[in-house]
Structure 1
């Protein structure tokens, strides 16, 4: 099971929306995940204990340290696009298995 964080600036609305969207795409791809949503500040401190972090493309640089430790950081240009989420999952997770 993959451990995933959905992060946004405040950890409220946007991260919940990202969580719902990525949950739907992972389910479609039949990939078992556990998803937590939170603020970028909290996610930065926890990211290295997760397999994947989803956030806005603009916030991706906040996770450089976690990326060095092996966490996959996925920046999204359109947080509502299931097509973009599916493409990024394919490129960063499915193709690397």
Structure 2
């Protein structure tokens, strides 16, 4: 199962909107077996290595630098409501085939 984290500054409204967009994007890319969690940036930097994939606003990617160094895939998003951006970033990341096999 692919473990996904969606994180934003406060972990409430924005991350819930991002979660829905991420779910729709993953399903449309034929990733079926995943579990998505949300959190505030300040509460998840220590648990980020428990996930395979993290979506966050592009300006907060540095928060997950340690997780990236340990192999977690982190994707920065500009438009949190754009399913097309989520899909495009996943496709361009080179992670897609690896994530489908989780």
TM tier, shorter chain?
over 0.9
- The count of corresponding residues between Structure 1 and Structure 2 is 97
Unaligned runs of 5+ in 2: none
TM norm structure 2: 0.89
Residue 94 (1) aligns with residue 96 (2)? yes
Are the counterparts in 2 of residues 11 and 39 from structure 1 also a CA contact under 8 Å? yes
- Which string of whole-angstrom CA distances, capped at 9 and with x for unpartnered residues, describes residues 55-90 of structure 1? 000111110000000001100011111111001111
Q: CA deviation at 1:96?
A: 5.1
Q: How many Å separate the matches in 2 of 1:50 and 1:94?
A: 15
TM norm structure 1: 0.93
Q: How many Å separate the matches in 1 of 2:26 and 2:97?
A: 14
Are the counterparts in 2 of residues 78 and 84 from structure 1 also a CA contact under 8 Å? yes
Runs of 4 or more above 4 Å deviation: none
Q: How many Å separate the matches in 2 of 1:34 and 1:43?
A: 16
- Which string of whole-angstrom CA distances, capped at 9 and with x for unpartnered residues, describes residues 16-63 of structure 1? 000000001111112021100110112211111100110000111110
Are the counterparts in 2 of residues 5 and 43 from structure 1 also a CA contact under 8 Å? no
Unaligned runs of 5+ in 1: none
